[in-house]
């Protein structure tokens, strides 16, 4: 139950010491004062009884002086009640401030961690799930746990202080009450633990449910869902998952509440036994009327403190669940980047793959096998191969998004692993097939290619010109400052080809890069645009290394070196003329495509 309370508390402490101390102080005050109020209640009743006896004497007059011994207690009780109200307001004010601060702190922690993770970790479904869950509830859960812990503490303080009052009556009464209340506490804790395990265990199903929600209600999928009429089918699957989960929930809830009721009755029984005892003792004259009033108040408030504690406990498991997930995510080990090189041992040597093989984490088949190649500055390389042959994987290795399982990749004579990752990445400009469509301004979509020039308008324009995007950008309502995408007000959606021009221009933003990688950069462009892109590309990349992936042989044929990949291995290589002369796979595919145009 309390596994994560300490950590949640530490988190709150780091977020704001003043607010945490304030919260603790208010909790203490709000915990102790109810007992003080009950005690003053006793003094009032006893003082009233005394005053009544006095006023029944002949000649006694009702004056302020004669009632003051009672009124001062009434005043004191009013003061205590006001202090309780103040403490409770203080609690809720500080909680709402802390909620905002803590939500922000946890979100920043989550996002900072996300920046230090590897691509492989993001592709691990369980891990990714942890990340999304951590993010979704970051603003409420940690404080929820702290609040419940504090509320439990407050009620515990109340119960202890009621105990202090009750001990004058009889220590046995306390023992009876404690023994009566214990079973329901234990059962509540046990079922909370069960619920915790149940929720953790079924997280894949919950994830599928969430995914279905996304598919059914997101603009980017709804188009296809509607046209294929998938709503019914997906909704049915969504319902089925719910039914299974609901069955388990129902069983647990019924067991939990039944036991809670039965064991709670035990507590109530003990409680009313002690209650009856107090009443009998008063009748027998062993207790004053004031004492009886106090004990009855203590019993009433003790009962509500007890049920509030049980509510806190039963709510705590969900918060614990959240925090266990959050900490597992935050404690995910991150590979330390040891590379320091800013220059290779053979500057100007270019890129070399030496016997590189790679298998995706958890995959059965190998994605690349024994790849060796050399690309010198000023040269262009084209990768050709069927879908899934490993072309994009090769790029991912070269950009160090993954590391080879065997063999090594060298840049200017030094292993990529020895390079400073920042320096290495600055040398590479890349657009992937699945480039990002940022829901930002057009200009910022270009600026993303070079952080140093993120806001530089003249650089945006240069890059747009080279990416053939300047024409349609200048036609947009606010030019380079037009918002893109549909998420924000006034956002403009682009066509597939226009987005691709934006992505290409983004790659051109990276002026310092001497390695340019284009993974199917023109697949969505019209033929004229594609021809223009490559004419420009050839003209401007004479001193750079360029790698091009394309299924169009008309663009591939101009490359200095062509690599035909099949099933992760190099099948053929050479320039266009030599591959045609060899009359192998390349020549066959080239002719096939050419024939389509005849």
User: How far apart are CB 591 and ligand ATP at their closest, in Å?
Assistant: 20
- Separation CA 350–CA 379 (nearest Å): 9
> In the numeric block, which tokens belong to residue 174?
């306390």
User: How far apart are CB 119 and ligand ATP at their closest, in Å?
Assistant: 8
**Residue 149 is a binding residue for ligand ATP (CB under 6 A):** no
User: How far apart are CB 211 and ligand ATP at their closest, in Å?
Assistant: 18
**H/E element holding 327?**
helix 289-330
- φ, ψ of residue 409 to 5 degrees: the values are -120, 130
- Within 10 angstroms of residue 453's Cβ, the number of other Cβ atoms is 18
How far from chain centre, in Å, is Cα 203? 15
Nearer to ligand ATP, 317 or 353 (CB): 353
- Separation CA 469–CA 474 (nearest Å): 9
**Residue 27 is a binding residue for ligand ATP (CB under 6 A):** no
Q: For residues 191 and 255, is the Cβ–Cβ distance under 8 A? A: yes
Nearer to ligand ATP, 123 or 213 (CB): 123
User: How far apart are CB 396 and ligand ATP at their closest, in Å?
Assistant: 7
User: How far apart are CB 123 and ligand ATP at their closest, in Å?
Assistant: 5
- Please identify which residue in 393, 414, 522, 555 interacts with ligand ATP, judged by CB under 6 A: 393
Nearer to ligand ATP, 317 or 402 (CB): 402
Q: For residues 200 and 321, is the Cβ–Cβ distance under 8 A? A: yes
- Please identify which residue in 141, 148, 391, 501 interacts with ligand ATP, judged by CB under 6 A: 391
In 3D, which of 160, 188, 417 has the Cα closest to residue 316? Answer: 188
Interface residues for ligand ATP in 431-460 (CB under 6 A)? 433
- Separation CA 350–CA 414 (nearest Å): 10
- By CB under 6 A, the count of residues binding ligand ATP is 13
C-alpha torsion sign, points 346, 349, 354, 358:
positive
**Residue 388 is a binding residue for ligand ATP (CB under 6 A):** yes
> In the numeric block, which tokens belong to residue 138?
């970051």
User: At a CB cut-off of 8 Å and minimum separation 6, what does 377 contact?
Assistant: 348, 350, 514, 543, 544, 545
Q: Cite the DSSP H helix spans in 124-230.
A: 125-136, 141-167, 171-201, 203-217, 219-227
**Residue 392 is a binding residue for ligand ATP (CB under 6 A):** yes
Nearer to ligand ATP, 394 or 504 (CB): 394
User: At a CB cut-off of 8 Å and minimum separation 6, what does 413 contact?
Assistant: 344, 345, 346, 347, 349
> In the numeric block, which tokens belong to residue 323?
């925090």
Q: For residues 143 and 102, is the Cβ–Cβ distance under 8 A? A: yes
- Separation CA 383–CA 586 (nearest Å): 11
- Characterise 408 by phi-psi region: left (phi > 0), alpha (psi -120 to 50), beta (else): beta
Interface residues for ligand ATP in 358-387 (CB under 6 A)? 360, 363, 367, 385, 387
Nearer to ligand ATP, 45 or 371 (CB): 371
Nearer to ligand ATP, 42 or 389 (CB): 389
**H/E element holding 429?**
strand 428-431
Interface residues for ligand ATP in 112-141 (CB under 6 A)? 123
Nearer to ligand ATP, 229 or 362 (CB): 362
User: How far apart are CB 394 and ligand ATP at their closest, in Å?
Assistant: 7
User: At a CB cut-off of 8 Å and minimum separation 6, what does 191 contact?
Assistant: 252, 255, 256, 259, 260, 314
Nearer to ligand ATP, 370 or 418 (CB): 370
Nearer to ligand ATP, 180 or 390 (CB): 390
**Residue 404 is a binding residue for ligand ATP (CB under 6 A):** no
User: How far apart are CB 449 and ligand ATP at their closest, in Å?
Assistant: 22
Interface residues for ligand ATP in 407-436 (CB under 6 A)? 433
User: How far apart are CB 10 and ligand ATP at their closest, in Å?
Assistant: 36
- Within 10 angstroms of residue 368's Cβ, the number of other Cβ atoms is 28
User: How far apart are CB 346 and ligand ATP at their closest, in Å?
Assistant: 28
User: How far apart are CB 390 and ligand ATP at their closest, in Å?
Assistant: 4
Helix 64-115 and helix 125-136, axial crossing angle in degrees, nearest 10? 150
**What is the maximum span of the chain, computed from C-alpha positions, in angstroms?**
133
User: Which range binds ligand ATP by CB under 6 A, 310-318, 330-338, 388-396, 475-483?
Assistant: 388-396
Nearer to ligand ATP, 119 or 179 (CB): 119
Nearer to ligand ATP, 388 or 422 (CB): 388
**H/E element holding 534?**
helix 527-540
- Please identify which residue in 31, 302, 390, 443 interacts with ligand ATP, judged by CB under 6 A: 390
User: How far apart are CB 567 and ligand ATP at their closest, in Å?
Assistant: 9
User: How far apart are CB 228 and ligand ATP at their closest, in Å?
Assistant: 22
Nearer to ligand ATP, 247 or 388 (CB): 388
If 0-12 CB within 10 Å is exposed, 13-18 middle and 19+ buried, where does residue 375 land? buried
User: How far apart are CB 399 and ligand ATP at their closest, in Å?
Assistant: 13
- Beta pairing, strands 414-415 & 428-431: unpaired
- Please identify which residue in 309, 389, 546, 555 interacts with ligand ATP, judged by CB under 6 A: 389
Nearer to ligand ATP, 463 or 547 (CB): 547
The residues binding ligand ATP (CB under 6 A) are 123, 360, 363, 367, 385, 387-393, 433
């Amino acid at each position: 139950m309390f596994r994560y309370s300490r950590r949640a508390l530490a988190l709150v402490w780091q977020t704001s010491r003043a607010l945490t101390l304030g919260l603790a102080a208010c909790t203490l005050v709000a915990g102790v004062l109810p007992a003080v109020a009950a005690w003053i209640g006793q003094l009032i009743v006893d003082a009233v009884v005394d005053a009544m006896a006095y006023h029944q004497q002949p000649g006694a007059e009702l004056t302020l002086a004669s009632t003051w011994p009672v009124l001062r207690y009434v005043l004191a009780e009013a003061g205590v009640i006001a202090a309780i109200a103040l403490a409770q307001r203080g609690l809720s004010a500080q909680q709402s401030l802390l909620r905002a601060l803590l939500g922000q702190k946890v979100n920043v922690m989550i996002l900072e961690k996300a920046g230090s993770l590897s691509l492989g970790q993001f592709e691990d479904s369980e891990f990714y799930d942890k990340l999304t869950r951590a993010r979704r509830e970051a603003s409420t859960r940690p404080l929820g746990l702290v609040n419940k812990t504090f509320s439990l503490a407050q009620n515990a303080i109340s119960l202890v202080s009621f105990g202090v009052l009750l001990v004058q009556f009889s220590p046995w009464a306390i023992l009876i009450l404690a023994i009566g209340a214990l079973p329901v506490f234990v059962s509540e804790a046990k079922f909370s633990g069960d619920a915790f395990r149940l929720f953790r265990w079924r997280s894949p199903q919950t994830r599928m449910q969430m995914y279905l929600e996304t598919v059914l209600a997101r603009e980017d999928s709804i188009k296809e869902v509607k046209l294929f009429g998938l709503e019914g089918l997906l909704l049915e699957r969504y319902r089925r998952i719910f039914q299974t989960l609901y069955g388990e929930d129902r069983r647990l809830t019924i067991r939990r509440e039944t036991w809670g009721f039965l064991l709670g009755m035990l507590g109530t029984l003990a409680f009313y036994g002690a209650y009856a005892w107090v009443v009998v003792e008063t009748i027998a004259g062993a207790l004053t009327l004031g004492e009886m009033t106090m004990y009855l108040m203590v019993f009433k408030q003790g009962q509500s403190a007890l049920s509030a504690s049980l509510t806190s406990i039963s709510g705590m498991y969900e918060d614990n669940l959240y925090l266990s997930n959050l900490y597992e995510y935050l404690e995910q080990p991150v590979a330390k980047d040891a590379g320091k090189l800013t220059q290779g041992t053979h500057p100007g040597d270019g890129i070399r793959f030496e016997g590189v093989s790679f298998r995706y984490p958890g995959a059965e088949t190998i994605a690349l096998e024994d790849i060796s190649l050399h690309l010198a500055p000023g040269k262009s390389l084209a990768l050709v191969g069927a879908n899934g042959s490993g072309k994009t994987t090769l790029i991912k290795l070269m950009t160090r998004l993954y590391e080879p399982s065997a063999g090594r990749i060298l840049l200017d004579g030094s292993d990529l692993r020895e390079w400073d990752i920042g320096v290495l990445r600055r040398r590479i400009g890349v657009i992937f097939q699945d480039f990002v469509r940022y829901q930002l301004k057009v200009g910022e979509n270009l600026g993303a290619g070079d952080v140093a020039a993120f806001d530089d308008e003249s650089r945006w324009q240069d890059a747009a010109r080279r990416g053939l995007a300047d024409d349609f950008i200048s036609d947009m309502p606010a030019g380079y400052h037009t918002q893109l995408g549909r998420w924000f007000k006034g956002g403009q959606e682009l066509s597939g080809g226009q987005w691709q021009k934006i992505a290409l221009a983004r790659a051109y933003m990276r002026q310092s890069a001497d390695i340019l990688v284009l993974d199917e950069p023109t697949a969505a462009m019209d033929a004229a645009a594609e021809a223009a892109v490559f004419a420009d590309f050839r003209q401007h990349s004479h001193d750079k290394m360029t790698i091009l992936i394309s299924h169009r042989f008309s663009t591939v044929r101009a490359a200095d070196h062509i690599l035909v990949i099949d099933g992760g291995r190099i099948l053929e290589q050479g320039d266009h003329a030599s591959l045609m002369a060899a009359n192998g796979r390349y020549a066959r595919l080239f002719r096939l495509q050419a024939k389509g145009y005849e």
